[in-house]
Structure 1
Amino acid sequence: MTPATPVPAVTENAALPPVFDTLVVVGPGLIGSSVLRRAKERGGLARHVIAVDIDPAVCARVAELGIADEVMEDAAQAAAKADCVMLCVPVGAMGPVAASVIPAMKPGAILTEVGSTKVSVIEAIKPFLRPDVPYVPAHPMAGTEFSGPDAGFATLFEDRWCLLTPLEGTPSAAVEAIRTLWERCGARLRDMTPAHHDRVCAIVSHLPHLLAFTICGTADDLADETRSEVLDFAASGFRDFTRIAASDPIMWRDIFLLNREALLEMLARFMEDAQAMARAIRWGDEDYIVDRIERGRKIRKSLIENRQA
């Protein structure tokens, strides 16, 4: 266990009783460290926060940043102290980590996670669930291309959606506790089924990342002279793709593989639309081209109006 340097608190939620006495965040990367910062700087989430990571260097950095009250390498030991355990690890690691923490959790303590896929994560965790440990899956739709404990910030979730996919039979008090936690992080809440969540995220998040990685790979595969010109003269459109493509490769490898059915469905639909646009360009179908551009402009306007841009 590593002692943490305290961070001065900003008492936005100080007058509110904390949602949990002890909150354990396993995986203090971008999402996890942002939750920790929110808890320490704004109050109202937990009286005591513990960060957990198997990497001693990450633990040392979290302690140096002072964004947790305790920093531990053993997830099970930390979970034994928790009223809520939040898993913020890559989706491919959710099952093994859940298997280690659930047996150690106190009866009535809540398990939650922030995975970007839900059907696969729920299936991975279900075999290890206990009837006295409620499980509330969640997915905060917020992020940047950066990772690690230095990447987080307390306002990451402000005005962003957090999607809850509660399972049938989960105690309502547990669902409301997780809902309140994310509301106090500044998020907007929406409930949906796990399968619907995965289809929505496939089109609004997973497919755009797949396209960004692919476009950057195509540019990198060009002849040396052309590639250098691409990098020298990259306009804002290409720069936006490179920002997305800078995201964590292990995290996105797991997301692509674990949401493959929904992602491949959306990719197939996109490829059909791309072929239709290619035909319009080839045959000079100006009306079709303008219609697609106008639809894109409308979507951008809607995002701005919905405070998501």
Structure 2
Amino acid sequence: MLQNFWRERKPVTNYANNESTFIFNTLTIIGIGLIGSSLARALKSKPGLVKQIIASDSNKENLAKALELGIADSTCENINDAVSNSDCVILCTPIGTYETIVKKIAHSLPAGCVLSDVGSVKAEPIENIVQYLPSNVHLVPGHPIAGTEKSGPEAGFASLFEGRYWLLTPLENADREAVFKMRRLCEGIGAMVEEMDINYHDKVLAITSHLPHLIAYTIVGTADDLEDQTQADVIRFSASGFRDFTRIAGSNPIMWRDVFLNNREAVLEMLQRFSEDLTLLQRAIRWGEGDVLEALFTRTRDIRRGVIDARQDVPPSPDDTK
């Protein structure tokens, strides 16, 4: 359906800033939480990428904090005014808000404007918004593989995206100049950019991100259901494994609610495979099949080494700038 939609759209290359030395003259960030504020900080730290940053958020306190922190040139509570003169708009809100936002701003977006996002799920949210976009607005969905369990504008930091992958998932017949501009922007703040099919993206992220979060929420929830004394000791004597799970489970609950509801098919498929593998492990432990356990642990250790070799083993931290 999405591909058919884009076959009917003709790319438009009428960019308002063709003669500018900046990639974008005015970039509007909608949602100034962890990712949005980190993006603003990163752009501010790299002169020459954008001329002006406008922040828009439904939370007035977040907008005030953005100005206080100096991460936006201006703020705008009215979302239509915030995008009306922008040549790039990036959605940094939970994916469950996309349709409402895009439906509202669609006719305020200037001709040639590039619309992108940072959502962890692509197929369903994008299918929900393409119907509202004028043919002269260029959609270039994106997803930075970066983040922490913290939220809010104070939680952001400029180095969040450095050395991290930023996946772009343009649809068939997307305007290539718009895609190129988003690539330049993301690479300009230190990210490694790759393009990926939206459905494949959702399948990959279901196993690398969504399922681990679901497992973390479950394990921490199980600990919370234990008797009071046991629960207290679990917290008091937390080993590194459980501490890692609590860090993941501390992520924004609204954001992750929307992720699971919008990527349900891929998550359920991976959850079924995980359940089957867990049953095999349960059997191996019950029957003392040490060779089965050792073979699995050896294989998974090799995957860990691959993550280290790809330099994706250490979570981003504000200390990276020091």
**TM band (smaller chain):** over 0.9
**1:270-293 CA distances to partner (integer Å, 9 max, x unpaired)?**
010011011111111111101111
- Whether 1:197 and 2:201 are equivalent positions in the alignment is yes
Structure 1 distance, partners of 2:233, 2:21, is 57
Q: What is the CA-CA distance between 1:17 and the residue it aligns to?
A: 3.2
- The answer for the alignment partner of 1:49 in structure 2 is 53
Structure 1 distance, partners of 2:157, 2:234, is 33
- Whether 1:19 and 2:23 are equivalent positions in the alignment is yes
- The answer for the alignment partner of 2:165 in structure 1 is 161
Q: What is the CA-CA distance between 1:45 and the residue it aligns to?
A: 2.2
For structure 2, list consecutive stretches of 5 or more residues without a partner in the other structure. 1-19, 314-322
Q: Is the 8 A contact 1:38 1:153 kept in 2?
A: yes
- The answer for the alignment partner of 1:206 in structure 2 is 210
- The answer for the alignment partner of 1:7 in structure 2 is none
**1:179-223 CA distances to partner (integer Å, 9 max, x unpaired)?**
111111211111111110000000000000000000000000001
Q: SS state of the match for residue 222, structure 1?
A: coil
For structure 1, list consecutive stretches of 5 or more residues without a partner in the other structure. 1-15
Q: How does 1:1-309 map to 2 (within 5 A)?
A: 17-309=21-313
Structure 2 distance, partners of 1:259, 1:141, is 16
Structure 1 distance, partners of 2:149, 2:45, is 23
Q: Following TM superposition, where does structure 1 have runs of at least 4 consecutive aligned residues deviating by more than 3 angstroms?
A: none
Q: What is the CA-CA distance between 1:102 and the residue it aligns to?
A: 1.9
Structure 2 distance, partners of 1:243, 1:42, is 30
Structure 2 distance, partners of 1:24, 1:52, is 7
| TM-score between both structures, scaled by the size of structure 1 | 0.93
| TM-score between both structures, scaled by the size of structure 2 | 0.90
Identity of counterpart residues, as a percentage? 50
Q: Match for 1:195: what amino acid?
A: N
**C-alpha RMSD over aligned residues:** 1.0
Structure 1 distance, partners of 2:138, 2:33, is 24
Q: Is the 8 A contact 1:44 1:184 kept in 2?
A: no
Q: SS state of the match for residue 140, structure 2?
A: strand
Q: What is the CA-CA distance between 1:57 and the residue it aligns to?
A: 1.0
Q: Is the 8 A contact 1:138 1:164 kept in 2?
A: yes
Structure 1 distance, partners of 2:299, 2:68, is 48
**1:50-95 CA distances to partner (integer Å, 9 max, x unpaired)?**
0110111111111111100001111110100101000111000011
Q: What is the CA-CA distance between 1:35 and the residue it aligns to?
A: 0.8
Q: Is the 8 A contact 1:86 1:111 kept in 2?
A: yes
Q: Match for 1:29: what amino acid?
A: G
Q: What is the CA-CA distance between 1:261 and the residue it aligns to?
A: 0.4
**1:140-168 CA distances to partner (integer Å, 9 max, x unpaired)?**
01000001101111110111111111011
Q: What is the CA-CA distance between 1:104 and the residue it aligns to?
A: 0.3
